Amino acid sequence: MLKRIDRYIIQKFLSTFFFMLGLIMVFSVVFDISEKLSEFISNKAPLHEIFFRYYVTFILYYGNTFSSMIIFLSVIWFTGKMAQNTEIIPIWFSGRPVTRFLRPYFIGATILTIMSLVLNHLIIPRTNKIRLAFEERYYRDVLTVNNYQAEYPGNELVYFSNYAAEEQRVNDLTIQKWSKDNQPIYFLRARFAKNKPGTNEWQLTDYYEKNYDFPKAKLIHGRHKDTTFVYRIEEMAQRDNAAQALTFTELKNAIERERLKGSKLVPDFEIELHQRTSFPFATYILTLIGVSVASQKKRGGIGMNIAIGLAFIFVYIFAMKMLTVAAVKVGFPTLWSVWLPNLLFALIALVFYQRSQK
């Protein structure tokens, strides 16, 4: 049963969070518009799509991405205000366990964590498809891929010299297959190739293919050919942030598919998958640190608490970025790169909490 003090703190927690979230998102949208407005105008982006498709999904994505940091600042802000107004002293000296004071904070943190998990795994990947499609059409440079090479299951090597999304055409497509004992069994080369969007159907132009069937190899040359492959162009040509638009199931399948190809995108995809869970759970850690830092009066007042909070956020982001770069560049385990900052800051949170009780 929630007491009056519980409802009071939860209300303060949630209202401060949503106020700060709204304020930060307003500034973010204003800065984003100022940066992209010329591109929107030159590409003739419709006004209703800018605001009701792009910026709605923009607010959902970036608001949720930085929600843990905003929660941290919110806790420091309203807890510091309570400390300055001597509202916390009666609670500390009421004779109840100190952990009782944390209960409403963790109830509020749980509400926001559940919201973030639902958004991360169910809603935002779908809204990101809308946001990224809008950026692709009205803002970003045309997607191009040069010197693509990947090895697919069944000892199948695929190469093309370049691809431009504007033309929807692959140049110099080459496919080679080998047997298990590394003997060539198939070769295909096409000057141009087009993939029908959303399917495995391909159209080849000016091609020749060779089957190394025993005892006589067979060489075929033709002008046009319709065929199917196990891969699609959207899997071969994609931007670095493509994983943001994949649902949980799609992301798991993409990881397995890229791992079979030996793709360099595997760490990026795995980091995206783990961060969808680790970021929401950071809410508990940052809430505990925020309460411990802000629950006592300081000579510098709330400003000192905010300065300390910003320092923690900077160190947390730096540690997270450093470890994710290590995972991508030097093969550090992606699970550890995502969760290690949370584990380290959980220990720091316990130390600060123990010190705050003194």
196 and 122, same structural domain? Answer: no
Mean pLDDT over 121-136 rounds to 91
Q: Give me the pLDDT at residue 182, please.
A: 79
Q: How far apart are the first and last CA of the chain?
A: 29
34 and 115, same structural domain? Answer: yes
Q: Is residue 297 part of a domain?
A: yes
* Secondary element (H or E) of residue 323: helix 301-330
Q: Per DSSP, what are the bridge partners of residue 174?
A: 159, 189
More confident call, 273 vs 240: 273
More confident call, 155 vs 108: 108
Question: Which tens digit of pLDDT belongs to each residue from 6-55?
Answer: 888 899 999 999 999 999 999 999 999 998 888 888 888 899 999 989 99
Contact 323, 341 (CB under 8 A): yes
204 and 171, same structural domain? Answer: yes
If pLDDT is split at 50, 70 and 90, which confidence band does 357 have?
A: low
Instruction: Give the whole-angstrom CA distance, residue 330 versus residue 326.
Output: 5
Q: Give me the pLDDT at residue 320, please.
A: 82
Percent of the chain past pLDDT 70, that is, above it, reads 91
Instruction: Give the whole-angstrom CA distance, residue 70 versus residue 68.
Output: 5
What are the residues whose beta carbons fall under 8 Å from the beta carbon of 6, sequence distance 6 or more? 103, 104, 107
Q: How many domains does the chain have?
A: 2
Mean pLDDT over 158-179 rounds to 87
214 and 160, same structural domain? Answer: yes
Q: Is residue 201 scored above 70 in pLDDT?
A: yes
Residue type at position 110: T
Q: Is residue 98 scored above 70 in pLDDT?
A: no
**Edge to edge, what strands does the sheet with 218-228 contain?**
144-152, 156-164, 169-178, 184-195, 201-211, 218-228
Q: Is residue 52 part of a domain?
A: yes
Q: Is residue 1 scored above 90 in pLDDT?
A: no
111 and 15, same structural domain? Answer: yes
Q: Is residue 243 part of a domain?
A: no
Cα 218 to its chain centre, rounded Å, is 48
Contact 245, 132 (CB under 8 A): yes
330 and 285, same structural domain? Answer: yes
207 and 172, same structural domain? Answer: yes
If pLDDT is split at 50, 70 and 90, which confidence band does 93 have?
A: low
Instruction: Give the whole-angstrom CA distance, residue 122 versus residue 16.
Output: 26
Q: Give me the pLDDT at residue 204, please.
A: 92
276 and 127, same structural domain? Answer: yes
Q: Is residue 203 part of a domain?
A: yes
Mean pLDDT over 206-232 rounds to 82
Q: Is residue 216 scored above 70 in pLDDT?
A: no
If pLDDT is split at 50, 70 and 90, which confidence band does 97 have?
A: low
Q: What b/e string do you get for 333-344 counting C-beta neighbours within 10 Å, with b at 16 or more?
A: ebeebbbbbbee
Q: Is residue 338 part of a domain?
A: yes
Q: Give me the pLDDT at residue 112, please.
A: 94
Q: Is residue 218 part of a domain?
A: yes
Question: Which tens digit of pLDDT belongs to each residue from 311-347?
Answer: 877 888 788 888 888 887 878 889 898 999 899 889 9
Q: Is residue 186 part of a domain?
A: yes
126 and 33, same structural domain? Answer: yes
99 and 157, same structural domain? Answer: no
Name the average pLDDT for the chain: 85
Range of the domain at 273: 4-139+266-356
The DSSP-derived string for 97-155 is -HHHHHHHHHHHHHHHHHHHHHIIIIIHHHHHHHHHHHHHHHTSPPPEEEEEEEEETTT
Instruction: Give the whole-angstrom CA distance, residue 45 versus residue 36.
Output: 11
Token pair listed for 182: 């590394």
Q: Is residue 258 part of a domain?
A: no
Question: Which tens digit of pLDDT belongs to each residue from 288-316?
Answer: 888 888 776 666 566 676 777 778 778 88
Among the listed residues 240, 7, 227, 242, the one whose alpha carbon sits nearest the alpha carbon of residue 131: 242
Mean pLDDT over 61-68 rounds to 91
199 and 131, same structural domain? Answer: no
Position of tokens 């020749």? 208
Cα 61 to its chain centre, rounded Å, is 9
71 and 8, same structural domain? Answer: yes
